[in-house]
Structure 1
Amino acid sequence: MKHAILAAAALLAFAGPAQAGVISDTGAGAYWGGNDHRYGDVIGGAMFDITGATVTLDGSMLTIRIATAFAGHAGTATYAGPKGIGYGDVFLGASWNPAGTDAHHTGDKAANGTKWAYGLNLDDRWNNQGGSFSLYELNGATNAYNILNSESFMKCTLGSQCYYRNGQATAVKTTSSTVRQTGHTGTWTVTRDQGLLFNIDVRGTALAGYGDMALHWGQTCQNDVIEGITDVPEPASPVLIGLALAALALRRRARA
Protein backbone atom coordinates (compact mmCIF):
# COMPACT_ATOMS: atom_id res chain seq x y z
CA MET A 1 0.00 0.00 0.00
CA LYS A 2 2.91 2.35 0.68
CA HIS A 3 4.00 1.99 -2.95
CA ALA A 4 0.46 2.77 -4.13
CA ILE A 5 0.40 5.93 -2.04
CA LEU A 6 3.76 7.09 -3.38
CA ALA A 7 2.63 6.40 -6.95
CA ALA A 8 -0.56 8.38 -6.37
CA ALA A 9 1.40 11.34 -5.06
CA ALA A 10 3.71 11.30 -8.05
CA LEU A 11 0.88 11.08 -10.55
CA LEU A 12 -1.07 13.86 -8.90
CA ALA A 13 2.04 16.00 -9.02
CA PHE A 14 2.11 15.54 -12.80
CA ALA A 15 -1.56 16.50 -12.90
CA GLY A 16 -0.83 19.92 -11.42
CA PRO A 17 -0.59 23.22 -13.35
CA ALA A 18 1.09 22.94 -16.75
CA GLN A 19 4.70 24.08 -16.94
CA ALA A 20 5.63 27.05 -19.11
CA GLY A 21 8.05 26.73 -21.99
CA VAL A 22 10.51 29.61 -22.27
CA ILE A 23 12.02 31.36 -25.30
CA SER A 24 14.78 33.84 -24.44
CA ASP A 25 15.66 36.87 -26.55
CA THR A 26 18.80 37.91 -24.71
CA GLY A 27 22.44 36.93 -24.84
CA ALA A 28 24.53 34.98 -27.33
CA GLY A 29 21.63 32.94 -28.70
CA ALA A 30 19.11 35.78 -29.12
CA TYR A 31 17.24 35.84 -32.43
CA TRP A 32 17.88 38.97 -34.51
CA GLY A 33 16.57 38.02 -37.92
CA GLY A 34 17.16 39.99 -41.07
CA ASN A 35 17.62 42.75 -41.89
CA ASP A 36 19.11 44.46 -38.84
CA HIS A 37 20.83 47.21 -40.91
CA ARG A 38 23.87 46.83 -38.64
CA TYR A 39 21.92 47.72 -35.50
CA GLY A 40 22.12 44.24 -34.04
CA ASP A 41 19.36 42.90 -31.80
CA VAL A 42 17.34 46.10 -31.40
CA ILE A 43 16.81 48.92 -33.90
CA GLY A 44 15.92 52.35 -32.56
CA GLY A 45 16.63 52.08 -28.85
CA ALA A 46 15.69 50.26 -25.66
CA MET A 47 11.98 51.03 -25.92
CA PHE A 48 11.65 48.30 -28.56
CA ASP A 49 13.53 45.63 -26.60
CA ILE A 50 12.02 42.15 -26.21
CA THR A 51 13.59 39.93 -23.55
CA GLY A 52 11.63 36.69 -23.71
CA ALA A 53 8.37 34.77 -23.96
CA THR A 54 6.68 31.95 -22.07
CA VAL A 55 4.17 29.52 -23.55
CA THR A 56 1.77 27.46 -21.43
CA LEU A 57 -0.70 24.88 -22.76
CA ASP A 58 -2.88 23.72 -19.88
CA GLY A 59 -5.35 21.29 -21.41
CA SER A 60 -6.64 23.37 -24.32
CA MET A 61 -5.95 26.75 -22.72
CA LEU A 62 -3.03 28.47 -24.44
CA THR A 63 -1.32 31.33 -22.63
CA ILE A 64 1.52 33.36 -24.13
CA ARG A 65 3.44 36.03 -22.25
CA ILE A 66 5.86 38.29 -24.10
CA ALA A 67 8.21 40.46 -22.05
CA THR A 68 8.90 43.72 -23.88
CA ALA A 69 9.63 47.33 -22.99
CA PHE A 70 7.40 48.34 -25.90
CA ALA A 71 4.28 47.38 -23.91
CA GLY A 72 2.11 50.47 -23.50
CA HIS A 73 3.90 52.49 -26.19
CA ALA A 74 1.91 51.73 -29.34
CA GLY A 75 1.31 54.86 -31.39
CA THR A 76 4.86 56.11 -31.09
CA ALA A 77 6.80 57.33 -34.15
CA THR A 78 3.98 58.77 -36.24
CA TYR A 79 6.52 59.39 -39.03
CA ALA A 80 6.22 55.65 -39.67
CA GLY A 81 2.53 55.94 -40.52
CA PRO A 82 -0.62 57.81 -39.45
CA LYS A 83 -1.09 55.65 -36.33
CA GLY A 84 2.57 55.18 -35.52
CA ILE A 85 4.09 51.83 -34.61
CA GLY A 86 1.78 49.16 -33.19
CA TYR A 87 1.81 45.60 -31.94
CA GLY A 88 2.34 42.82 -34.48
CA ASP A 89 0.33 39.60 -34.60
CA VAL A 90 1.66 36.42 -32.96
CA PHE A 91 2.64 33.57 -35.29
CA LEU A 92 2.78 29.93 -34.17
CA GLY A 93 3.89 26.60 -35.57
CA ALA A 94 4.90 23.07 -34.57
CA SER A 95 8.45 23.40 -35.92
CA TRP A 96 11.09 26.10 -36.29
CA ASN A 97 13.26 26.28 -39.42
CA PRO A 98 15.09 29.62 -39.50
CA ALA A 99 17.44 30.43 -42.37
CA GLY A 100 21.16 30.43 -41.65
CA THR A 101 23.38 28.63 -39.17
CA ASP A 102 24.66 31.71 -37.32
CA ALA A 103 23.47 32.11 -33.73
CA HIS A 104 21.34 35.19 -34.48
CA HIS A 105 19.97 34.00 -37.86
CA THR A 106 20.73 37.42 -39.34
CA GLY A 107 19.56 36.37 -42.81
CA ASP A 108 16.21 34.91 -41.70
CA LYS A 109 13.03 36.51 -43.06
CA ALA A 110 9.44 35.53 -43.76
CA ALA A 111 10.46 34.67 -47.32
CA ASN A 112 13.09 32.08 -46.41
CA GLY A 113 12.39 31.06 -42.82
CA THR A 114 9.78 29.14 -40.88
CA LYS A 115 6.42 28.55 -42.55
CA TRP A 116 3.93 29.63 -39.87
CA ALA A 117 0.79 27.55 -39.33
CA TYR A 118 -1.35 29.86 -37.19
CA GLY A 119 -1.67 33.57 -36.49
CA LEU A 120 -3.27 35.50 -33.63
CA ASN A 121 -4.74 38.54 -35.40
CA LEU A 122 -5.24 41.51 -33.06
CA ASP A 123 -8.47 43.48 -33.25
CA ASP A 124 -6.73 46.83 -32.63
CA ARG A 125 -2.94 46.68 -32.71
CA TRP A 126 -2.60 50.27 -31.49
CA ASN A 127 -4.59 49.75 -28.28
CA ASN A 128 -2.39 50.12 -25.20
CA GLN A 129 -4.83 48.28 -22.95
CA GLY A 130 -5.31 45.20 -25.17
CA GLY A 131 -8.52 43.73 -26.53
CA SER A 132 -9.48 40.60 -28.44
CA PHE A 133 -7.90 38.60 -31.25
CA SER A 134 -8.94 35.91 -33.73
CA LEU A 135 -7.11 32.67 -34.45
CA TYR A 136 -6.40 32.03 -38.14
CA GLU A 137 -5.12 28.95 -39.93
CA LEU A 138 -2.46 29.86 -42.49
CA ASN A 139 -2.94 27.41 -45.33
CA GLY A 140 -1.01 28.98 -48.21
CA ALA A 141 2.04 27.19 -49.56
CA THR A 142 4.38 29.94 -48.32
CA ASN A 143 4.22 32.85 -45.89
CA ALA A 144 3.75 35.23 -48.81
CA TYR A 145 0.20 33.94 -49.29
CA ASN A 146 -0.73 34.29 -45.63
CA ILE A 147 1.21 37.13 -44.06
CA LEU A 148 1.83 40.89 -44.32
CA ASN A 149 5.43 41.92 -43.69
CA SER A 150 6.72 44.95 -41.81
CA GLU A 151 6.98 47.09 -44.96
CA SER A 152 3.17 46.91 -45.25
CA PHE A 153 2.95 49.07 -42.10
CA MET A 154 5.99 51.35 -42.31
CA LYS A 155 5.32 54.38 -44.52
CA CYS A 156 8.68 56.12 -44.05
CA THR A 157 11.44 55.52 -46.60
CA LEU A 158 13.81 52.81 -45.43
CA GLY A 159 17.42 53.95 -45.30
CA SER A 160 16.78 57.68 -45.49
CA GLN A 161 13.79 58.64 -43.34
CA CYS A 162 13.94 55.63 -41.02
CA TYR A 163 15.35 52.17 -40.37
CA TYR A 164 13.32 49.12 -39.45
CA ARG A 165 13.65 45.34 -39.78
CA ASN A 166 12.07 44.74 -43.19
CA GLY A 167 10.86 41.43 -44.58
CA GLN A 168 9.63 40.10 -41.24
CA ALA A 169 6.23 38.47 -40.64
CA THR A 170 4.05 41.10 -38.97
CA ALA A 171 0.33 40.46 -39.46
CA VAL A 172 -2.10 37.88 -40.80
CA LYS A 173 -3.20 38.71 -44.34
CA THR A 174 -6.89 38.40 -43.46
CA THR A 175 -8.01 39.23 -47.02
CA SER A 176 -6.18 36.23 -48.46
CA SER A 177 -8.14 33.19 -49.63
CA THR A 178 -5.45 30.97 -48.11
CA VAL A 179 -6.17 31.94 -44.50
CA ARG A 180 -9.14 30.67 -42.51
CA GLN A 181 -10.75 32.12 -39.42
CA THR A 182 -11.05 29.15 -37.05
CA GLY A 183 -13.92 30.65 -35.06
CA HIS A 184 -11.72 30.81 -31.96
CA THR A 185 -11.14 34.16 -30.28
CA GLY A 186 -9.06 35.17 -27.30
CA THR A 187 -8.09 38.17 -25.22
CA TRP A 188 -4.85 40.10 -24.86
CA THR A 189 -3.77 42.60 -22.24
CA VAL A 190 -0.93 45.09 -21.92
CA THR A 191 1.12 45.83 -18.81
CA ARG A 192 2.99 49.05 -19.50
CA ASP A 193 6.77 48.70 -19.82
CA GLN A 194 6.52 45.01 -18.95
CA GLY A 195 4.74 42.91 -21.53
CA LEU A 196 1.77 41.44 -23.35
CA LEU A 197 -0.44 38.54 -22.27
CA PHE A 198 -2.50 36.40 -24.68
CA ASN A 199 -5.13 33.82 -23.63
CA ILE A 200 -7.19 31.53 -25.86
CA ASP A 201 -8.93 28.14 -25.77
CA VAL A 202 -7.55 26.20 -28.75
CA ARG A 203 -9.76 23.15 -28.30
CA GLY A 204 -10.39 21.39 -31.63
CA THR A 205 -7.35 22.87 -33.38
CA ALA A 206 -3.96 21.30 -34.07
CA LEU A 207 -2.45 23.72 -31.55
CA ALA A 208 -4.06 21.76 -28.72
CA GLY A 209 -1.86 18.78 -29.56
CA TYR A 210 1.44 20.57 -30.01
CA GLY A 211 4.26 19.18 -27.86
CA ASP A 212 6.65 21.84 -29.17
CA MET A 213 5.59 25.33 -30.15
CA ALA A 214 7.47 27.79 -32.35
CA LEU A 215 6.66 31.50 -31.98
CA HIS A 216 7.33 34.78 -33.75
CA TRP A 217 6.39 38.27 -32.56
CA GLY A 218 7.56 41.84 -33.06
CA GLN A 219 6.20 45.37 -33.34
CA THR A 220 4.83 46.51 -36.71
CA CYS A 221 8.33 47.87 -37.37
CA GLN A 222 9.90 44.61 -36.15
CA ASN A 223 12.66 46.71 -34.56
CA ASP A 224 13.11 43.76 -32.25
CA VAL A 225 11.84 40.25 -32.91
CA ILE A 226 11.46 37.24 -30.70
CA GLU A 227 11.46 33.91 -32.49
CA GLY A 228 12.22 30.35 -31.44
CA ILE A 229 10.74 27.09 -30.25
CA THR A 230 10.05 25.62 -26.84
CA ASP A 231 8.75 22.40 -25.39
CA VAL A 232 5.19 22.72 -24.10
CA PRO A 233 4.69 20.02 -21.42
CA GLU A 234 1.21 18.53 -21.34
CA PRO A 235 -0.77 18.02 -18.13
CA ALA A 236 -1.29 14.43 -17.02
CA SER A 237 -3.75 12.42 -19.10
CA PRO A 238 -7.17 11.49 -17.64
CA VAL A 239 -5.98 7.87 -17.43
CA LEU A 240 -3.04 8.81 -15.19
CA ILE A 241 -5.23 11.01 -13.04
CA GLY A 242 -7.72 8.15 -12.73
CA LEU A 243 -4.97 5.77 -11.60
CA ALA A 244 -3.83 8.26 -9.01
CA LEU A 245 -7.33 8.70 -7.65
CA ALA A 246 -7.83 4.92 -7.56
CA ALA A 247 -4.64 4.52 -5.51
CA LEU A 248 -5.86 7.13 -3.06
CA ALA A 249 -9.21 5.32 -2.80
CA LEU A 250 -7.37 2.09 -1.93
CA ARG A 251 -5.54 3.98 0.79
CA ARG A 252 -8.85 5.15 2.31
CA ARG A 253 -10.23 1.58 2.24
CA ALA A 254 -7.12 0.26 4.01
CA ARG A 255 -7.67 2.76 6.81
CA ALA A 256 -11.38 1.90 7.16
Structure 2
Amino acid sequence: MSNYGMTATLAAVLLGLSGSLAAAPITVNDDYVGSDAGTYGDVVGEDDYFDISSMVVAQNGSQFDFTVNTNFAGQSGTLFNDLTLGGTGIGYGDLFLANQWTPEQSVPTPGDNSENGYDKDDATNGTKWTWGLMLSDRYENGGGDVTLFQLLGTSNLDTAILSDQLMTGGAWRYGQEVTIKDGNQELVVNYGSVGSWSLGTGQLNISADLASSDLMDGDSLAFHWGMTCANDVIEGEVDLKKVPEPGTIGLVSLALAGMFIMRRRSKAA
Protein backbone atom coordinates (compact mmCIF):
# COMPACT_ATOMS: atom_id res chain seq x y z
CA MET A 1 0.00 0.00 0.00
CA SER A 2 1.30 3.48 -0.84
CA ASN A 3 1.96 6.06 1.84
CA TYR A 4 -1.03 7.96 0.54
CA GLY A 5 -3.28 4.91 0.72
CA MET A 6 -2.13 4.06 4.23
CA THR A 7 -2.65 7.65 5.33
CA ALA A 8 -6.16 7.65 3.92
CA THR A 9 -6.93 4.37 5.66
CA LEU A 10 -5.72 5.65 9.02
CA ALA A 11 -7.71 8.84 8.54
CA ALA A 12 -10.83 6.79 7.87
CA VAL A 13 -10.23 4.74 11.02
CA LEU A 14 -9.81 7.89 13.10
CA LEU A 15 -12.95 9.43 11.68
CA GLY A 16 -14.78 6.19 12.37
CA LEU A 17 -13.71 6.24 16.01
CA SER A 18 -14.84 9.82 16.38
CA GLY A 19 -18.17 9.11 14.70
CA SER A 20 -18.78 6.07 16.89
CA LEU A 21 -19.16 8.32 19.93
CA ALA A 22 -22.63 9.44 18.84
CA ALA A 23 -25.74 7.29 18.93
CA ALA A 24 -29.23 7.83 17.54
CA PRO A 25 -31.73 9.02 20.17
CA ILE A 26 -33.70 6.23 21.85
CA THR A 27 -37.31 6.70 22.93
CA VAL A 28 -38.55 4.74 25.95
CA ASN A 29 -42.32 4.86 26.39
CA ASP A 30 -43.80 5.09 29.86
CA ASP A 31 -44.75 1.46 30.45
CA TYR A 32 -43.81 1.65 34.14
CA VAL A 33 -46.53 1.95 36.78
CA GLY A 34 -44.76 1.49 40.09
CA SER A 35 -46.11 0.67 43.53
CA ASP A 36 -49.25 2.16 45.03
CA ALA A 37 -51.08 2.31 41.73
CA GLY A 38 -54.33 1.57 43.58
CA THR A 39 -57.28 2.24 41.32
CA TYR A 40 -55.43 5.00 39.51
CA GLY A 41 -53.14 2.95 37.31
CA ASP A 42 -50.32 4.79 35.55
CA VAL A 43 -51.16 8.33 36.66
CA VAL A 44 -52.38 9.27 40.14
CA GLY A 45 -54.70 12.25 39.73
CA GLU A 46 -55.20 14.31 36.60
CA ASP A 47 -53.40 13.29 33.40
CA ASP A 48 -53.36 16.95 32.34
CA TYR A 49 -51.15 17.75 35.34
CA PHE A 50 -48.91 14.73 35.71
CA ASP A 51 -48.83 12.38 32.73
CA ILE A 52 -45.40 11.26 31.45
CA SER A 53 -45.55 9.74 27.98
CA SER A 54 -41.89 8.93 27.26
CA MET A 55 -38.20 9.59 27.81
CA VAL A 56 -35.86 10.26 24.87
CA VAL A 57 -32.17 9.58 25.53
CA ALA A 58 -29.52 10.92 23.15
CA GLN A 59 -25.83 10.05 23.64
CA ASN A 60 -22.71 11.64 22.16
CA GLY A 61 -19.75 10.06 23.91
CA SER A 62 -20.19 10.76 27.62
CA GLN A 63 -22.62 13.62 26.91
CA PHE A 64 -26.29 12.74 27.42
CA ASP A 65 -29.51 14.59 26.72
CA PHE A 66 -32.55 13.26 28.56
CA THR A 67 -35.90 14.60 27.32
CA VAL A 68 -38.92 13.80 29.48
CA ASN A 69 -42.16 14.28 27.59
CA THR A 70 -44.62 15.22 30.32
CA ASN A 71 -47.65 17.41 30.95
CA PHE A 72 -45.97 18.52 34.17
CA ALA A 73 -43.42 20.65 32.28
CA GLY A 74 -43.91 24.31 33.24
CA GLN A 75 -46.08 23.59 36.30
CA SER A 76 -43.49 23.22 39.05
CA GLY A 77 -44.32 25.08 42.24
CA THR A 78 -47.84 25.90 41.06
CA LEU A 79 -49.85 22.81 42.01
CA PHE A 80 -51.33 21.84 45.40
CA ASN A 81 -49.01 24.00 47.49
CA ASP A 82 -51.17 23.39 50.57
CA LEU A 83 -50.51 19.64 50.28
CA THR A 84 -46.72 19.83 50.16
CA LEU A 85 -44.08 20.09 52.85
CA GLY A 86 -43.20 23.76 53.35
CA GLY A 87 -45.90 24.86 50.91
CA THR A 88 -43.46 24.56 48.01
CA GLY A 89 -45.90 22.94 45.63
CA ILE A 90 -44.93 19.93 43.53
CA GLY A 91 -41.51 20.19 41.88
CA TYR A 92 -39.26 18.47 39.39
CA GLY A 93 -37.62 15.36 40.79
CA ASP A 94 -34.00 14.35 40.28
CA LEU A 95 -32.85 11.83 37.67
CA PHE A 96 -31.62 8.57 39.18
CA LEU A 97 -29.19 6.41 37.16
CA ALA A 98 -27.60 2.96 37.25
CA ASN A 99 -25.97 0.49 34.88
CA GLN A 100 -28.70 -2.12 35.06
CA TRP A 101 -32.47 -1.92 35.38
CA THR A 102 -33.83 -4.59 37.75
CA PRO A 103 -37.37 -3.52 38.73
CA GLU A 104 -39.44 -5.53 41.18
CA GLN A 105 -41.96 -7.41 39.08
CA SER A 106 -45.20 -9.24 39.77
CA VAL A 107 -47.51 -11.38 37.68
CA PRO A 108 -50.17 -9.09 36.15
CA THR A 109 -53.79 -9.88 36.86
CA PRO A 110 -56.37 -8.49 34.42
CA GLY A 111 -58.07 -5.38 35.79
CA ASP A 112 -55.65 -4.70 38.67
CA ASN A 113 -53.69 -1.86 37.00
CA SER A 114 -50.45 -3.86 36.97
CA GLU A 115 -50.44 -4.51 33.24
CA ASN A 116 -46.66 -4.28 33.04
CA GLY A 117 -45.85 -6.22 36.18
CA TYR A 118 -44.15 -3.38 38.07
CA ASP A 119 -46.92 -2.56 40.52
CA LYS A 120 -44.81 -3.72 43.50
CA ASP A 121 -41.71 -1.68 42.61
CA ASP A 122 -40.67 1.11 44.98
CA ALA A 123 -37.54 2.48 46.65
CA THR A 124 -37.17 -0.58 48.92
CA ASN A 125 -36.79 -3.12 46.13
CA GLY A 126 -35.88 -3.38 42.49
CA THR A 127 -33.11 -1.24 41.02
CA LYS A 128 -30.41 0.12 43.32
CA TRP A 129 -29.57 3.56 41.93
CA THR A 130 -25.85 4.31 42.05
CA TRP A 131 -25.71 7.82 40.56
CA GLY A 132 -28.06 10.77 40.37
CA LEU A 133 -28.45 14.14 38.66
CA MET A 134 -29.81 16.82 40.98
CA LEU A 135 -31.76 19.71 39.49
CA SER A 136 -31.25 23.16 41.01
CA ASP A 137 -34.27 25.47 41.42
CA ARG A 138 -36.61 22.49 41.13
CA TYR A 139 -39.66 24.48 42.23
CA GLU A 140 -39.16 27.09 39.50
CA ASN A 141 -39.67 26.89 35.74
CA GLY A 142 -36.66 28.80 34.47
CA GLY A 143 -34.12 25.98 34.25
CA GLY A 144 -30.86 25.66 36.16
CA ASP A 145 -27.77 23.61 36.84
CA VAL A 146 -27.46 19.85 37.11
CA THR A 147 -25.13 18.34 39.73
CA LEU A 148 -23.80 14.78 39.62
CA PHE A 149 -23.87 12.67 42.80
CA GLN A 150 -22.58 9.18 43.49
CA LEU A 151 -24.98 7.22 45.69
CA LEU A 152 -23.06 4.86 47.97
CA GLY A 153 -25.74 3.67 50.36
CA THR A 154 -26.65 0.02 50.71
CA SER A 155 -30.22 0.82 49.65
CA ASN A 156 -32.12 3.65 48.00
CA LEU A 157 -33.48 4.64 51.40
CA ASP A 158 -29.97 5.78 52.38
CA THR A 159 -29.61 8.19 49.50
CA ALA A 160 -33.07 9.23 48.32
CA ILE A 161 -35.97 11.29 49.64
CA LEU A 162 -39.29 9.60 48.96
CA SER A 163 -42.46 11.08 47.54
CA ASP A 164 -44.42 10.60 50.77
CA GLN A 165 -41.75 12.55 52.69
CA LEU A 166 -42.53 15.67 50.65
CA MET A 167 -46.35 15.47 50.65
CA THR A 168 -48.68 16.27 53.54
CA GLY A 169 -52.06 15.40 52.06
CA GLY A 170 -53.99 14.49 48.96
CA ALA A 171 -53.37 11.54 46.68
CA TRP A 172 -49.89 10.62 45.51
CA ARG A 173 -47.83 7.53 44.72
CA TYR A 174 -45.85 6.85 47.87
CA GLY A 175 -42.60 4.98 48.34
CA GLN A 176 -40.96 6.35 45.20
CA GLU A 177 -37.48 7.90 45.19
CA VAL A 178 -37.87 11.46 43.88
CA THR A 179 -34.92 13.58 45.07
CA ILE A 180 -31.36 12.96 46.21
CA LYS A 181 -30.70 13.03 49.96
CA ASP A 182 -27.42 14.95 50.00
CA GLY A 183 -26.95 15.46 53.74
CA ASN A 184 -24.47 12.61 54.37
CA GLN A 185 -21.28 13.23 52.39
CA GLU A 186 -20.05 9.69 53.06
CA LEU A 187 -23.06 8.16 51.32
CA VAL A 188 -23.80 10.86 48.73
CA VAL A 189 -20.68 12.20 47.01
CA ASN A 190 -20.92 15.51 45.13
CA TYR A 191 -19.08 15.52 41.77
CA GLY A 192 -20.06 19.08 40.93
CA SER A 193 -22.01 20.68 38.12
CA VAL A 194 -22.04 18.59 34.93
CA GLY A 195 -24.77 20.23 32.89
CA SER A 196 -28.08 22.03 32.93
CA TRP A 197 -31.82 21.57 32.69
CA SER A 198 -34.42 23.52 30.78
CA LEU A 199 -38.02 23.36 29.61
CA GLY A 200 -39.61 23.04 26.20
CA THR A 201 -43.26 22.70 25.23
CA GLY A 202 -44.38 19.63 27.16
CA GLN A 203 -40.75 18.71 27.82
CA LEU A 204 -38.22 18.67 30.62
CA ASN A 205 -34.71 18.60 29.16
CA ILE A 206 -31.73 17.43 31.22
CA SER A 207 -28.26 17.67 29.66
CA ALA A 208 -25.24 16.23 31.45
CA ASP A 209 -21.71 14.92 30.91
CA LEU A 210 -21.30 11.59 32.73
CA ALA A 211 -17.55 11.23 32.10
CA SER A 212 -16.68 11.54 35.79
CA SER A 213 -18.95 8.61 36.71
CA ASP A 214 -18.40 4.90 36.09
CA LEU A 215 -21.70 4.61 34.22
CA MET A 216 -19.89 4.47 30.88
CA ASP A 217 -18.27 1.17 31.92
CA GLY A 218 -21.53 -0.73 31.54
CA ASP A 219 -23.49 -1.91 28.52
CA SER A 220 -26.72 -0.13 29.44
CA LEU A 221 -27.98 2.91 31.31
CA ALA A 222 -31.02 2.67 33.57
CA PHE A 223 -33.00 5.71 34.68
CA HIS A 224 -35.82 6.78 37.00
CA TRP A 225 -37.62 10.13 37.03
CA GLY A 226 -40.81 11.56 38.46
CA MET A 227 -42.14 14.79 39.88
CA THR A 228 -41.80 15.13 43.67
CA CYS A 229 -45.26 13.66 44.30
CA ALA A 230 -44.48 10.72 41.97
CA ASN A 231 -48.02 10.88 40.59
CA ASP A 232 -46.39 9.53 37.47
CA VAL A 233 -42.95 7.94 37.19
CA ILE A 234 -40.93 6.70 34.24
CA GLU A 235 -38.28 3.99 34.51
CA GLY A 236 -36.37 1.99 31.94
CA GLU A 237 -33.00 1.51 30.30
CA VAL A 238 -31.18 2.11 27.03
CA ASP A 239 -28.12 0.49 25.46
CA LEU A 240 -24.91 2.48 25.76
CA LYS A 241 -22.71 3.41 22.83
CA LYS A 242 -19.23 2.48 24.02
CA VAL A 243 -16.68 5.28 24.06
CA PRO A 244 -13.26 4.27 22.63
CA GLU A 245 -10.38 4.41 25.10
CA PRO A 246 -8.46 7.70 24.84
CA GLY A 247 -5.29 5.68 24.28
CA THR A 248 -6.77 4.04 21.18
CA ILE A 249 -7.57 7.36 19.54
CA GLY A 250 -4.18 8.72 20.62
CA LEU A 251 -2.29 5.82 19.00
CA VAL A 252 -4.20 6.15 15.75
CA SER A 253 -3.59 9.90 15.74
CA LEU A 254 0.13 9.34 16.33
CA ALA A 255 0.31 6.81 13.51
CA LEU A 256 -1.55 9.17 11.23
CA ALA A 257 0.87 11.99 12.00
CA GLY A 258 3.80 9.66 11.34
CA MET A 259 2.43 8.70 7.94
CA PHE A 260 2.06 12.35 6.97
CA ILE A 261 5.69 12.99 7.96
CA MET A 262 6.88 9.98 5.95
CA ARG A 263 4.94 11.12 2.93
CA ARG A 264 6.39 14.61 3.09
CA ARG A 265 9.94 13.22 3.39
CA SER A 266 9.30 10.92 0.43
CA LYS A 267 8.21 13.86 -1.71
CA ALA A 268 11.24 15.92 -0.63
CA ALA A 269 13.60 13.08 -1.62
Q: Bin the TM-score by the shorter chain.
A: 0.7 to 0.9
Quote the residue 1:93 is aligned against: 98
Letter in 1 for 2:36: N
Contact kept, 8 Å, 2:159 with 2:188, in 1: the verdict is: no
Alignment partner, residue 116 of structure 1 = 129
Partner of 1:53: 55
**Alpha-carbon deviation of 1:171?**
0.8
Deviates more, 1:16-25 or 1:94-103: 16-25
Q: CA deviation at 1:45?
A: 1.5
Aligned amino acid, residue 229 of structure 2: C
AA partner of residue 149 (structure 1): L
Q: Does 1:132 align with 2:145?
A: yes
Higher gyration radius (CA): 2
Residue 51 of structure 1, CA deviation: 2.1
CA-to-aligned-CA distance 1:23-46 (integer Å, 9 cap, x gap): 5224xxx11111112212222213
Moved more, 84-93 or 187-196: 187-196
Give the stretch that moved more between structures: 105-114 or 204-213. 204-213
Equivalent in the alignment of 1:18: 22
Q: Which moved more, 1:122-131 or 1:196-205?
A: 196-205
What secondary structure is seen at the aligned counterpart in 1 of 2:221?
Answer: strand
Paired residue for 2:177? 169
1:73 shift after superposition: 0.9
Segments of 5+ residues of structure 2 without an aligned counterpart are 108-115
Alignment match of 1:67 (pick from 69, 72, 97): 69
Per the TM alignment, residue 212 of structure 1 is displaced from its structure 2 partner at its CA by 1.2
**More deviation, 100-109/139-148:** 100-109
The alpha-carbon deviation at position 210 of structure 1 amounts to 3.5
Q: Which of 217, 226, 237 is the aligned partner of 1:209?
A: 217
State the structure with bigger RCO (CA 8 A, min sep 6), 1 or 2.
1
What is the alpha-carbon distance in structure 2 between the residues aligned to residue 234 and residue 48 of structure 1? 34
Per the TM alignment, residue 127 of structure 1 is displaced from its structure 2 partner at its CA by 1.4
Aligned length: 248
Residues 118-147 of structure 1: per-residue CA shift (max 9 Å, x gap): 122222211101111322211111111111
Over 3 Å counting, the alpha-carbon distance change for 1:115 and 1:85 in structure 2 is same
- Aligned CA RMSD, in angstroms, stands at 3.0
Spell out, residue by residue over 1:52-71, the C-alpha distance to the aligned partner (whole angstroms, 9 max, x if none). Answer: 22334434333322222211
C-alpha contact 1:136 1:179 (8 A) present in aligned 2? no
What's the TM-score, normalizing by structure 1? Answer: 0.82
CA–CA distance in structure 2, aligned partners of residues 120 and 70 of structure 1: 19
Quote how far apart the aligned CAs of 1:196 are.
1.8
Give the deviation of 1:164 after TM superposition: 1.2
Q: Which moved more, 1:7-16 or 1:214-223?
A: 7-16
- Partners of 1:63 and 1:50 in 2: how far apart? 17
Alpha-carbon distance change, 241 to 150 in structure 1, aligned in 2, over 3 angstroms = same
2: distance between equivalents of 1:48 and 1:55? Answer: 20
For residue 206 of structure 2, give the secondary structure of its aligned residue in structure 1. strand
**Do the aligned partners of 1:73 and 1:192 also contact (CA within 8 Å) in 2?**
no
> Does residue 143 in structure 1 map to residue 195 in structure 2?
no
- The 2-side partners of 1:70 and 1:126 are apart by 12
- Equivalent position amino acid for 1:106 in 2: D
| C-alpha distance 117-245 of structure 1, shift in aligned 2 (>3 A) | same
Local SS of the residue matching 2:125: coil
- The residue number in structure 2 matching 1:159 is none
Partner of 2:40: 39
Range 99-108 or range 83-92, more displaced: 99-108
